[in-house]
């Protein structure tokens, strides 16, 4: 299939902001794909990616190398292309301009196909070792040599992961449903179970509703994690659930999903990114501790400080980010894994079993040690007993408790009331930076305040809920300015509109009802706490969550 057709789709998507139209364009395109194998990769290409996030492969191509490749393909000096980027403010546009001006015309140009683009990019990702940059350069230059200006523009954006077509997962889900006349709930379910839109699109095309309803979890494909809502207190959680409840310590770390297949162990983060290589000691221990041939289990990875006390979750994220000198980090930031769920064991999917049964199965395959433990639990319906457990958890330095219904099945991707979390403070919000304002005086060269948006899944958009300017060090402000500058969409006076990409954790004194923002809510005294690199913008807190927290705040006040 010609890459030109995909480029046309990108162009159409860029031209409209209407979600309905975008969905229609994507659906029509998916329908036009004849080869089912191609459908496995196209959904990701539409999202502007080469691989799903959970795939460990990365292109490893920066702006510099890309410009070099375009320079090689066009005969135009790299400096000239760099200058042009300063003018257009958009690398994609500049690549298109360069291709238009191309000095050497190649007489043997082969029209680009999607297959060729994909295969070449896979090769680029798999090129490593000596002189790998040179080899990547050649592979890319060959692609650009055969690309039309428009193709080059989108190719460049795909390679640098800067595609802005406004297609998010929800839209893709709807488009698959529309293209193959299958039920949207079944597409959603299959995606929650496998996180693989390529696979889901292929099943939808070949096997329709029936095939989709038979999709199962698979070792090697991460499942969307089940999530929790906050309860005001232990007592409220007991009242909400009725009867006996499983309370577990809420560890303050990073959630991981462990997939074991024989000797092979793959570990995914909360965002379902493959973090296996960054934590080799955990992989080794899991291999020994899990007494099942094949399994998918979940737990919280905690950084351990002095006297075995937990350290804040940012320490675990530092471990995930580290690519070199990992041995040193194993010493510096020791980790402990606290397991709390089993989703699959030796050929049997467990998500439709009640929690109680899943926990028993988990216990039957885990050999506990210093660094691999079962999450501490207490099953009770007694308020005092549960409160004692809660206070002990806090004293030990944990975040609070989780309360889980004993009869609850595992609902991938759902934030319902079957799991509740209880912690002493109103929880912070994870919001997306959607705008910023240049500072004054000493801070004139940095953004001094940031407009925050909550996610609206219906519209696939972000709705403002406040502006934050405190909690940042000078260093933070510099970092954020550097990070956000390439994401500027529009500049008006001192204010800029920012492409929603960066998620931050925000503390606040209270949530107020306010007409100031379209959301109807505004944060009072918001304060920056941390950068949530582990969350994608679609995983930021929703406008519904802000409303729920407002209710929760009012209920906590009523006590
Ligand atoms: N025993 C446990 N059972 C389930 N989750 C736990 C447990 N201990 C710690 N956690 C963590 O708490 C989170 C549950 O809260 P929630 O569903 O709101 O996730 P979240 O959106 O990542 O929020 P948070 O910022 O509170 O971690 C899990 O994602 C997991 O990382």
Q: Is 535 in the pocket of ligand 1 (CB under 6 A)?
A: no
CATH number for the domain formed by residue range(s) 3-159: 1.10.3260.10
3-state secondary structure of 148: coil
The CA radius of gyration of the chain, in Å to the nearest whole number, is: 25
Nearest to 259 by CA among 336, 194, 330: 194
Which pLDDT belongs to residue 138?
Answer: 96
Tell me the three state secondary structure of residue 290: strand
Please report, for residues 306, 326, 372, the alpha-carbon distance to residue 332 in angstroms, rounded to integers and kept in the order given: 11, 10, 18
CATH number (3.40.50.300, 3.30.470.30, 3.40.50.1370, 2.60.40.790) of 227-422 reads: 3.30.470.30
Q: Is the pLDDT reported for residue 324 higher than 90? A: no
Q: How far apart are CA 453 and CA 538, in angstroms?
A: 11
Answer yes or no: is the C-beta of 545 below 6 A from any ligand 1 atom.
no
Q: Does residue 559 have a pLDDT over 60?
A: no
End-to-end alpha carbon distance in the chain: 64
Q: In 3D, which of 335, 375, 371, 362 has the Cα closest to residue 250?
A: 375
CA 520 to ligand 1 centroid distance, Å: 27
Residue 250 Cβ < 6 Å to ligand 1: yes
Which residue from 300, 337, 358, 506 has its CB within 8 A of the most atoms of ligand 1, so it is best to mutate? 300
CA-nearest of 503, 504, 509 to 425 is 509
Which residue is it, tokens 């995909």? Answer: 6
Q: What is the pLDDT of residue 15?
A: 92
* Whether the Cβ atoms of residue 200 and residue 176 lie closer than 8 Å to each other: yes
Distance 536 CA to ligand 1 centre (A): 16
> Alpha helices of 333-373 — where are they, by DSSP H?
355-365
What's residue 23's pLDDT?
96
Residue 276 CA: distances (Å) to CA of 263, 280, 281: 13, 7, 10
Annotated active-site positions, please?
Answer: 250
Beta strand 495-498 with 429-438: parallel, antiparallel or unpaired?
Answer: antiparallel
Q: Each residue of 439-465: pLDDT tens digit?
A: 998 889 999 999 999 999 887 889 999
Return phi, psi of residue 326, to 5°.
-65, -35
Q: Residue 228 C-alpha to ligand 1 middle, in angstroms?
A: 7
Extract the annotated binding site for ATP: 248, 255, 270, 300, 340, 415, 421
**What atom in ligand 1 is closest to the CA of residue 250?**
8
Per-residue model confidence (pLDDT) at position 308: 84
Q: What is the CA angle 12-13-17, rounded to 5?
A: 115
**Which SS3 state, helix, strand or coil, does residue 498 take?**
strand
227-422 and 429-557 agree in CATH topology: no
Whether 144 shows a pLDDT value over 80: the answer reads yes
Task: Parse the chain into domains and list their residue ranges.
Answer: 3-159, 227-422, 429-557
What is the edge-to-edge ordering of all strands in the sheet holding 245-250?
227-230, 415-422, 400-405, 245-250, 377-380
Find out whether the beta carbon of 517 lies less than 6 Å from any atom of ligand 1.
Answer: no
> How many Cα atoms are found within 13 Å in the side-chain-facing hemisphere of 553?
17
Fold of 429-557: OB fold (Dihydrolipoamide Acetyltransferase, E2P) (2.40.50)
Is 402 near ligand 1, meaning CB less than 6 Å away? yes
Ligand 1 binding pocket includes 393 (Cβ within 6 Å): no
Kindly report the CA angle at 227 between 222 and 228, in degrees rounded to 5?
A: 165
Cα within 13 Å of Cα(115), Cβ side: 8
Taking the CA of residue 248 as reference, the ligand 1 atom at the shortest distance is 1
Question: What is the tens place of the pLDDT at every residue in 54-81?
Answer: 998 999 999 999 999 999 999 999 999 9
Q: Ligand 1 pocket, 358 CB below 6 A?
A: no
Q: Give, using CA atoms, the residue closest to atom 6 of ligand 1.
A: 250
Which H or E element spans position 260?
A: strand 254-261
Of all protein residues, the one whose alpha carbon is nearest to atom 31 of ligand 1 is 255
For the entire predicted model, the pTM comes to: 0.81
pLDDT at 105: 63
CA of 471 to the centre of ligand 1 (A): 24
Residue 505 CA: nearest ligand 1 atom is: 25
The alpha carbon of 220 and the centre of ligand 1 are apart by a number of angstroms equal to 22
The interface pTM score, or ipTM, of the predicted complex is: 0.96
């Amino acid at each position: 299939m010609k890459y030109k057709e995909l480029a046309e789709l990108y162009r159409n998507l860029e031209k409209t902001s209407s979600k309905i139209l975008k969905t229609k364009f994507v659906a029509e395109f998916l329908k036009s794909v004849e080869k089912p194998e191609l459908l496995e990769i196209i959904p990701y290409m539409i999202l502007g990616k080469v691989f799903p996030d959970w795939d460990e492969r990365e292109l490893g191509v920066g702006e510099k190398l890309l410009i070099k490749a375009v320079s090689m393909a066009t005969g135009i000096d790299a400096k000239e292309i760099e200058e042009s980027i300063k003018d257009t403010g958009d690398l994609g546009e500049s690549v298109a301009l360069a291709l238009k001006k191309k000095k050497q015309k190649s007489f043997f140009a082969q029209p680009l196909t999607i297959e060729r683009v994909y295969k070449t990019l896979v090769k680029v990702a798999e090129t490593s070792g000596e002189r790998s940059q040179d080899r990547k350069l050649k592979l890319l230059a060959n692609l650009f040599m055969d690309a039309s200006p428009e193709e080059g523009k989108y190719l460049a954006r795909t390679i640098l992961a800067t595609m802005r077509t406004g297609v998010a997962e929800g839209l893709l889900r709807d488009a698959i449903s529309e293209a193959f006349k299958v039920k949207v709930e079944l597409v959603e379910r299959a995606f929650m179970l496998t996180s693989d839109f390529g696979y889901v699109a292929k099943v939808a095309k070949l096997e329709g509703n029936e095939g989709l309803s038979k999709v199962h979890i698979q070792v090697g494909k991460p499942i969307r994690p089940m999530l929790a809502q906050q309860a005001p207190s232990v007592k409220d959680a007991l009242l909400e659930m009725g009867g006996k409840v499983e309370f577990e310590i809420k560890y303050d770390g990073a959630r991981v999903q462990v997939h074991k297949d024989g000797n092979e162990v793959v570990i995914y983060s909360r965002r379902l990114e493959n973090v296996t290589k960054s934590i080799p000691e955990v992989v080794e221990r899991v291999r020994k501790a899990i007494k099942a041939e094949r399994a998918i289990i979940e737990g919280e990875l905690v950084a351990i400080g002095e006297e075995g006390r937990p350290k804040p979750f940012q320490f675990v994220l530092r471990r995930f980010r580290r690519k070199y000198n990992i041995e040193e980090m194993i010493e510096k930031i020791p980790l402990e894994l606290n397991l709390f769920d089993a989703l699959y064991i030796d050929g049997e999917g467990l998500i439709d079993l009640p929690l109680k049964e899943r926990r028993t199965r988990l216990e039957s395959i885990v050999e506990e040690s210093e660094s691999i433990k079962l999450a501490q639990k207490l099953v009770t319906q007694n308020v005092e007993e549960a409160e004692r457990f809660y206070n002990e958890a806090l004293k030990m330095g944990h975040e609070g408790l989780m309360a889980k219904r004993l009869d609850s099945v595992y609902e991938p991707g759902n934030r319902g009331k079957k799991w509740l979390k209880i912690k002493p403070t109103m929880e912070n919000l994870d919001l997306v930076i959607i705008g910023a304002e240049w500072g004054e005086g000493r801070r004139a060269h940095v953004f001094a305040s940031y407009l925050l948006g909550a996610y609206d899944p219906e519209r696939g958009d972000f709705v403002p809920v406040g502006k934050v300017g405190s909690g940042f060090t000078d260093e933070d402000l510099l970092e954020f300015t550097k990070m956000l500058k390439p994401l500027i969409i529009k500049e008006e006076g001192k204010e800029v509109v920012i492409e929603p990409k960066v998620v931050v954790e925000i503390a606040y004194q209270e949530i107020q009802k306010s007409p100031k923002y379209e959301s109807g809510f505004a944060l009072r005294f918001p304060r920056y706490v941390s950068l949530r690199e582990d969350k994608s913008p679609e995983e930021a807190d929703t406008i519904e969550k802000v409303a729920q927290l407002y209710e929760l705040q009012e209920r906590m006040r009523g006590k």
